[in-house]
């Protein structure tokens, strides 16, 4: 069980390392925005990875992953709206971008492409 917690924590930290700099590059430079985004990412990624079953090369796994990622985007957007109220469309696009890049890099690392 401790190994699973460590893996989930490491995945969440990796997500933060990937997504927060992208969020910054997209123009969100206030410390409060970046810290909140990092915390929201930690929570959303932890929930997603805890909910996903162990990896299997099945359509069911990939379907759950895609649905989970869409829920993560919705969750992150809803929470970040409490910190960033201007230009909601830009915020949603930025969150989509950070998650797309994060999942691509995560898959590259997972499968050692």
What integer is the mean pLDDT of 45-59?
80
**pLDDT tens, position by position, 100-112:** 999 999 888 877 7
pLDDT band at 55 (very low <50, low <70, confident <90, very high): low
Q: What's the whole-number mean pLDDT along residues 24-30?
A: 96
Reading the block at residue 47, the tokens are 């929930």
Q: Average pLDDT of the chain?
A: 90
| pLDDT given for residue 113 in this prediction | 57
This prediction has a pTM of 0.87
3-state class (DSSP) for residue 36: helix
What Rg, from alpha-carbon coordinates, does the chain have? 14
Q: What is the per-residue pLDDT for 51?
A: 81
Q: Which of 42, 32, 103 has the alpha carbon at shortest distance from 76?
A: 42
How far is it, in rounded angstroms, from Cα 95 to Cα 5? 25
**Which residues are CB-neighbours of 110 under 8 A, at least 6 positions away?**
55
CA distance 82 to 10: 27
Cα–Cα–Cα angle for 80, 81, 83, nearest 5°?
70
**What is the structure's pLDDT at 112?**
76
């Amino acid at each position: 069980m401790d190994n699973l917690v460590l893996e989930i924590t490491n995945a969440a930290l990796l997500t933060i390392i990937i997504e927060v700099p992208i969020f910054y590059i997209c123009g969100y430079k206030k410390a409060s925005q970046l810290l909140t985004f990092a915390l929201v990412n930690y929570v959303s990624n932890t929930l997603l990875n805890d909910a996903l079953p162990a990896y299997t090369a099945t359509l069911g796994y990939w379907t759950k992953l895609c649905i989970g990622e869409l829920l993560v985007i919705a969750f992150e957007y809803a929470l970040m709206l409490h910190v960033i109220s201007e230009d909601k469309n830009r915020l949603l696009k930025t969150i989509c971008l950070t998650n797309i890049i994060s999942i691509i890099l995560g898959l590259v690392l997972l499968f050692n492409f």
